[in-house]
């Protein structure tokens, strides 16, 4: 550590003393700066207008440059929004609340179990009751976090998507029914 401190021989620079930080008009480094060059026009970097032209933020593309497929897709999307089909895809509030409860349970239960087991292994090691192998806490954490991540998907699939039916406690029947329903739209698009 002592050698690292002694290696610095130059003083620290402040913003005002660094030569490259001085504010002066700059020109493009590849421009030829000659009074005989007809393209030579000196300018300040701050005087130039912004040259941003990011896609999607500028002027709309004229119809003559757009593809026919893009025009048709845009017309279909606007017709769907005008027709009121968006209510068909909306999740009812009752089903949404059921999904949230199931997701919290299926994510929270494995997470709490995993954290509890890690705490128990730590206590057993501190009390010198059992010296668990090093791989056991890693495996416990892997299983706890992995099943919690899967709990998000299973919590959604195990919920009854019918607002009138509550569904079973574990939701296995609903998950078997909802899984093909989830992929039906994807196969219809193809």
**Looking at the domain assignment, is residue 144 inside a domain?**
yes
Using DSSP's 3-state secondary structure scheme, residue 180 falls into helix
DSSP structural state of residue 129: S
| Overall domain count for the chain | 1
Question: What pLDDT does residue 45 have?
Answer: 46
**Looking at the domain assignment, is residue 106 inside a domain?**
yes
pTM: 0.52
Q: pLDDT tens digits, residue range 18-71?
A: 555 555 555 555 555 555 555 555 554 455 555 555 555 666 666 766 677 776
Q: pLDDT tens digits, residue range 161-176?
A: 999 998 899 999 999 9
**Looking at the domain assignment, is residue 118 inside a domain?**
yes
**Looking at the domain assignment, is residue 149 inside a domain?**
yes
Rounded to whole angstroms, the Cα distance separating 29 from 111 reads 58
Rounded to whole angstroms, the Cα distance separating 68 from 121 reads 64
Instruction: Taking the CA atoms of 61, 62, 64 and 68 in sequence, report the sign of the dihedral they define.
Output: positive
Range of the domain at 167: 91-179
Exposed, middle or buried, 102 (CB in 10 Å: 0-12/13-18/19+)? buried
């Amino acid at each position: 550590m002592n050698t690292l401190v002694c290696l610095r021989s130059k003083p620290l620079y402040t913003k005002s003393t660094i030569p490259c930080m001085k504010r002066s008009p700059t020109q493009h480094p590849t421009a030829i700066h000659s009074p005989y060059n007809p393209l030579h026009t000196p300018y300040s970097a701050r005087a130039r207008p912004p040259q941003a032209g990011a896609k999607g933020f500028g002027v709309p593309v004229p119809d003559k440059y757009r593809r026919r497929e893009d025009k048709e897709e845009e017309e279909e999307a606007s017709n769907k929004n005008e027709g009121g089909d968006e209510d068909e895809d909306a999740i009812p509030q009752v089903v949404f609340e059921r999904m949230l409860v199931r997701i919290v349970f299926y994510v929270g239960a494995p997470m709490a179990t995993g954290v509890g087991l890690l705490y128990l292994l730590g206590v057993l090691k501190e009390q010198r009751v059992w010296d668990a192998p090093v791989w056991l806490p890693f495996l416990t954490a892997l299983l706890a976090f992995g099943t919690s991540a899967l709990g998000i998907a299973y919590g959604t699939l195990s919920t009854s998507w019918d607002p009138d039916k509550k569904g079973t406690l574990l939701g296995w029947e609903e998950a078997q029914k909802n899984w093909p329903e989830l992929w039906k739209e994807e196969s219809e698009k193809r």
